[in-house]
Amino acid sequence: MRHHDRSPVIIALDTHEPDQALSLARLLDPELCRLKVGKELFTAAGPALVKELHSLGHEVFLDLKFHDIPNTVRKAVAVAASLGVWMLTVHASGGRVMLEAAREGALEGATRGGIDRHPLLVAVTLLTSLGQQDLDDMGIQRTMVEQVQRLASLAQGSGMDGVVCSAVEVAGLRALLRKDFLLITPGIRPAGDSHHDQKRVMTPAEAMRAGSDYLVIGRPVTRSSHPSERLTAICGAL
């Protein structure tokens, strides 16, 4: 089990209803989780919602998966950093110069916002919605595993703090990457829970044992009739 400042659990607020997101946020203990705001919720509710989550005492993982020319990404990351978010995502396939620009943007934005800690920068390697055929279509002549490893190494070499990856990829990546490089894993299901549309899942304890640093969990908590109790149970079983 890897060491953590506090909880390794990140709850995905996958909704476009800000009121729904805030009601859930009020139920969840900030000591037991961080909250992930993705494209849907951010497009609907923007920085104001992030500020409200902060005022409830929550740390925010802003999952906007930036991928653009380096200058644009640097500026976008700087704005995100100035909001004081805890973690944010970019696409590793944006390349080394874009990733390095993201790093600069994070430092600039934190300084501008008067924030002493800049956000953790985490890269998406291959979207797990992609298959081998998609790589072939894009002219990438490598297996999925090889390509994920390649992009994760690029992310590490370009100053990222970690990557998002499937729990089943964790062990392989852990062996390849620096010990303190963060591995953030979705596709987590408590034993006996519905898998929903997730194909290859691990329980929270299994993913932690495999070497995950943070677990992204959505529906098992957000669709629960008792989200707070559910979160407590998940944390208790780690």
Binding test (CB under 6 A) with ligand C5P, winner from 70, 84, 105, 218: 218
From candidates 101, 151, 208, 217, binder to ligand C5P by CB under 6 A: 217
Minimum CB separation of residue 219 from ligand C5P in Å reads: 3
Which is the catalytic residue, given 36, 51, 65, 179? 65
* 198 touches ligand C5P by CB under 6 A: yes
- Closest-CA residue to 217 (of 8, 6, 5): 8
Q: Which of the stretches 45-53, 99-107, 168-176, 214-222 binds ligand C5P when contact is defined by CB under 6 A?
A: 214-222
Q: Please work out the total of residues on this chain that contact ligand C5P, with binding judged by CB under 6 A.
A: 14
Task: Kindly tell me which of 178 and 200 has the beta carbon lying closer to ligand C5P.
Answer: 200
Among 12, 25, 81, 92, binds ligand C5P (CB under 6 A): 12
| 28: contact with ligand C5P by CB under 6 A | no
Query: Which one among 8, 38, 105, 204 touches ligand C5P, defined by CB under 6 A?
Result: 38
What is the rounded distance in angstroms from the CA atom of residue 45 to the CA atom of residue 129?
26
Q: Nearest approach, Cβ of 108 to ligand C5P (angstroms)?
A: 27
Q: Which is nearer to ligand C5P, 106 or 217 (CB)?
A: 217
Q: How far is the CB of 191 from ligand C5P (least distance, A)?
A: 14
Identify residues 124-183 at the interface with ligand C5P (CB under 6 A).
128, 164, 166
**Burial state string for 41-63 with b = 16 or more CB within 10 A and e = fewer than 16:** bbeebeeebbeebbeeebbbbbb
Active site residue 65: yes
Distance CA 200, CA 64 (A): 23
Which position among 15, 68, 219, 235 is part of the footprint of ligand C5P (CB under 6 A)? 219
Q: How far apart are CA 131 and CA 201, in angstroms?
A: 17
Report CA 224 to chain centroid distance, whole Å: 21
| Token pair in block for residue 29 | 């203990």
Task: Give the list of residues 6+ apart from residue 204 with CB closer than 8 angstroms, or none.
Answer: 9, 188, 190, 215, 217, 234, 237, 238
Both structure tokens of 163? 């990557």
- Quick one: which of 4, 16, 51, 196 contacts ligand C5P (CB under 6 A)? 196
Q: Which is nearer to ligand C5P, 13 or 177 (CB)?
A: 13
Which ranges of the chain does DSSP label H, i.e. alpha helix? Answer: 18-27, 39-55, 70-82, 96-112, 132-137, 144-157, 170-176, 204-210, 219-222, 227-236
Q: Work out the number of other CB atoms within 10 angstroms of the CB of residue 68.
A: 15
Sites of contact with ligand C5P (CB under 6 A) = 12, 14, 38, 128, 164, 166, 186-187, 196, 198, 216-219
Q: Which residues are catalytic?
A: 65
